[in-house]
Structure 1
Amino acid sequence: MLYYLFEYLDQFDFPGAGMFQFVTFRSAMAALVALIIAIFFGKNIIHKLQKKQIGETIRALDIEGQYSKAGTPTMGGVIIIISILVPILLFGKLENIYIILMIVSTIWLGVLGFIDDYIKVFKKDKDGLKGKFKIIAQIGLGLIVGVTMFLSPDIVSRENTEVRVNNVIEEVNYQENEIKSTKTTIPFVKNNNFDYRSLVSWMGDFADEAVWVVFVLVVIFIVTAVSNSANLTDGLDGLTSGTSGIIGVALGILAYVSGRVDFASYLNIMYIPGSDELMVFASAFVGATIGFLWYNSYPAQVFMGDTGSLAIGGIIGVFSILIHKELLLPILCGVFFVEALSVIIQRVYFKVTKKRYGFGKRVFKMAPLHHHFQKQGNAGIDALIQNPIIPITEPKIVVRFWLITIILAVFAVLTLKMR
């Protein structure tokens, strides 16, 4: 809203009004306002949650310090969502299709998580919303995003073509026409664009239509996978919020360079007109998650609950798809995916061994992976991996996961030139 106000005032040479035309300035303001909202208004929200006795129910995990978390207010993801949306409404270009899709994604999965938390807290059902309803809602969002990318005339790109001399890239040119594209950037590969069309090329004349069906299915899978992975990671104070803030910085950089033809040319990636506006959203996202960390760091005064974790994962997934960098997610969101993979491995191995031996065995002392490091090894738990023998304290686990995420985020950005 302020963007449009100052755009109007700029006609009258209003001092400073021209600054709002710069994405970098509005991004900085969005991050600052999001941080302020999360810290100052977040405190009031936490007090209201405490008054309504919206506390976390703690499972018996036999982990040191676990029971001290009982009664800590949950549903704090509301703080993150508000801290994202307010700066976007103030500083974003609200007619930008990328911003519209990000707002829809934030609200959609925020409401889904809120319903799940509401059932857990007020209905006293520890299982919350049934898994099938969560999946249906995530599939619905994937459909909305995928179909909109297909139908919207504003979501286009210019494909990059290389000019080589003696097998050395001399320059990168872009097509004059903006086109609909189902291509995405591949890390490490010289021919750096992968076209989903290659998966259906055998369909001949129908390939142009079929590729969008494949693309929508990919969008659904990514939104569901990343959203649930973030949800599984949310088990230690500050783990998901801190990790997400780091990922948000990397996504903001990727969005900015994808929306600037000069930077896109230098990195030899697709130029996506209008995607640089997503940097404003990424900045608000980073400000909101870091501001939430003010209260969520160890020992946490509030938990984000599914209200926050489902929304955060969905935001990251949709964001990466919009800038055609979804194949970077296994690197960028390495911590999320390893956490989810640990749960899958644990469950599959337990079921297989139970069927074969009559009793289930485990790979990890506990899953998700962060709890494995909290459990003592060789303490009567039948797990293939017993290290570390001595439990690691919660704050140390969280900080180490942050450091790993920083390394992965830097590496993910560098892969665009490591070909």
Structure 2
Amino acid sequence: MALSLTLGLALSALVIGIRPQVIVPFGLSVLASALLGSLLLPALRRWKAGQVIRQEGPPSHHKKAGTPTMGGISFLPVGLLVAGSWSGWDPQWLAVALLTLAYGLVGWLDDWLVIRQRSNKGLSPKAKLLLQVGIGLVFCGYLAWQGIPTVLTLPGIGTLSLGWLFWPLALFVLVGTNNAVNLADGMDGLAAGVVALVLAGLGLTAADSELAGLAFALSGACLGFLVHNHHRARLFMGDTGSLGLGGALAGLALLGDQLWALAWMGAVLVAEALSVILQVGYFQYTKRKTGQGKRLLRMSPLHHHLELGGWSEVQVVGCLYGITAVLVGLGWWHWAM
């Protein structure tokens, strides 16, 4: 709870001090998300929408089995609706909102299958990836139709024209960010807090006021969700929330020419995804070479490696919050200069 309170105070100070014009949507999202989560919790318990914990995960997590999931439906609509009403239903808001809801729907389907089958196997990895790629292709088509510049802006370096290479990069960002947030959602409050900070960072560095308002509204919604998701969590966001947030982050970065900001400020999310890729790759490599696979980490993603090294959940989450906060601060400072 102390971590959540500290994070909330830090984000509120940023909003008030840097972009006071978005304090209303930010504050409304915090309050509405927290309230909706409180109303949703009893219903999810009645529906027996409890999380199924994977057996190969850390033993300390097994006691979390049965905690209500699908919490994404308590904060994603809040952030989107508050931002939409505040921006006058701006077309850019609509594009990111539809992208967020599309990915959130894929996550909801996965959560629903997990709950229905009472196992931790929802959508198959292939089906989930195909849906993620399909949605990403549609969004890339929208960007091309809008004539978005196919460039990559790097602060202190300049603008690089990518031409057709921009489109595979955009698709990679869309699918990669989706999965990175999903992988980070493995500890109480981790994904929600880190994403809240990254969204605030995108809001701080956004040139477009509508995109800034949307970023801060979603950041506030994540913060309101932390009321129920901090250790020990009473509500999990599920794939509904994590895939939806991944879509929102990628959509904001692509529309706002902020890919550099997403990569820098979201380095914890990048590290979470890379830890899984390296773990799997190293295991397969050593298995081919020696006939017996070896692990690079104690367990992936990275937060489980730290936990099995003796860190408590609160310590891991606090450390990754701190790293993200520093990266957001440095990124904003560099942008302001």
TM-score by length of 1: 0.73
Query: In the alignment, does 2:98 pair up with 1:132?
Result: no
Query: In the alignment, does 2:264 pair up with 1:313?
Result: no
Aligned amino acid, residue 182 of structure 2 = N
SS in structure 1 opposite 2:274? Answer: helix
- 1:69 counterpart (44, 64, 72): 64
- 1:400 counterpart (286, 307, 319): 319
Query: In the alignment, does 2:290 pair up with 1:357?
Result: yes
Other-structure match for 2:43: 48
Query: Would the aligned equivalents of 1:93 and 1:277 in 2 still touch at CA under 8 Å?
Result: no
SS in structure 2 opposite 1:66? Answer: helix
SS in structure 1 opposite 2:242? Answer: helix
- 2:182 counterpart (227, 231, 239): 231
CA shift for structure 1 position 413: 2.3
CA shift for structure 1 position 294: 0.5
Query: In the alignment, does 2:167 pair up with 1:196?
Result: no
Other-structure match for 1:166: none
SS in structure 1 opposite 2:307? Answer: coil
CA shift for structure 1 position 133: 2.2
- 1:248 counterpart (195, 199, 202): 199
Matching of residues 212-231 of structure 1 within 5 Å:
214-231=165-182
**Which runs of 5 or more structure 2 residues have no equivalent in the other structure?**
1-18
Matching of residues 113-152 of structure 1 within 5 Å:
113-152=107-146
- 1:342 counterpart (275, 281, 293): 275
Aligned amino acid, residue 217 of structure 2 = A
Query: Would the aligned equivalents of 2:278 and 2:296 in 1 still touch at CA under 8 Å?
Result: yes
Aligned amino acid, residue 125 of structure 2 = G
Other-structure match for 1:92: 87
CA shift for structure 1 position 318: 1.2
Larger Rg: 1
Matching of residues 172-183 of structure 1 within 5 Å:
181-183=149-151
Other-structure match for 2:209: 276
Q: Deviation digits for residues 42-91 of structure 1, max 9, x if unmatched? A: 11111111111111111234635312211100111111212212212321
| Cα distance change on mapping 1:220 and 1:85 into 2, 3 Å | same
Query: Would the aligned equivalents of 1:241 and 1:289 in 2 still touch at CA under 8 Å?
Result: yes
Other-structure match for 1:409: 328
CA shift for structure 1 position 26: 6.0
Query: Would the aligned equivalents of 1:26 and 1:91 in 2 still touch at CA under 8 Å?
Result: no
Other-structure match for 2:34: 39
Distance 1:48 1:111 in 2: 19
Query: Would the aligned equivalents of 2:198 and 2:262 in 1 still touch at CA under 8 Å?
Result: no
Query: Would the aligned equivalents of 1:34 and 1:284 in 2 still touch at CA under 8 Å?
Result: yes
Q: Deviation digits for residues 353-391 of structure 1, max 9, x if unmatched? A: 11111111011000001001111xxxxxxxxxxxx4xx1
Other-structure match for 1:103: 97
CA shift for structure 1 position 280: 1.5
Other-structure match for 2:260: 327
Query: Would the aligned equivalents of 1:34 and 1:84 in 2 still touch at CA under 8 Å?
Result: yes
Distance 1:64 1:394 in 2: 13
SS in structure 1 opposite 2:331? Answer: helix
Aligned amino acid, residue 93 of structure 1 = G
- 1:288 counterpart (206, 214, 221): 221
Query: Would the aligned equivalents of 2:202 and 2:261 in 1 still touch at CA under 8 Å?
Result: no
Q: Please, which moves more after superposition, 310-319 or 78-87?
A: 78-87
SS in structure 1 opposite 2:60? Answer: coil
Distance 2:60 2:235 in 1: 15
SS in structure 1 opposite 2:123? Answer: coil
CA shift for structure 1 position 310: 0.7
Query: Would the aligned equivalents of 2:52 and 2:118 in 1 still touch at CA under 8 Å?
Result: no
Query: Would the aligned equivalents of 2:205 and 2:335 in 1 still touch at CA under 8 Å?
Result: no
Note the aligned Cα RMSD (angstroms).
1.7
CA shift for structure 1 position 125: 4.2
More helix by share: 2
Query: Would the aligned equivalents of 1:187 and 1:328 in 2 still touch at CA under 8 Å?
Result: no
Distance 1:140 1:64 in 2: 36
Other-structure match for 2:7: none
TM-score by length of 2: 0.90
Distance 2:273 2:57 in 1: 21
Q: Deviation digits for residues 231-273 of structure 1, max 9, x if unmatched? A: 0111000000000110011101111xx2xxxxxxxxxxxxxxx
Distance 2:57 2:72 in 1: 26
Determine which structure has greater relative contact order: mean sequence separation of CA pairs < 8 Å that are 6+ residues apart, divided by chain length.
2
CA shift for structure 1 position 290: 0.2
Other-structure match for 1:5: none
Query: Would the aligned equivalents of 1:143 and 1:219 in 2 still touch at CA under 8 Å?
Result: no
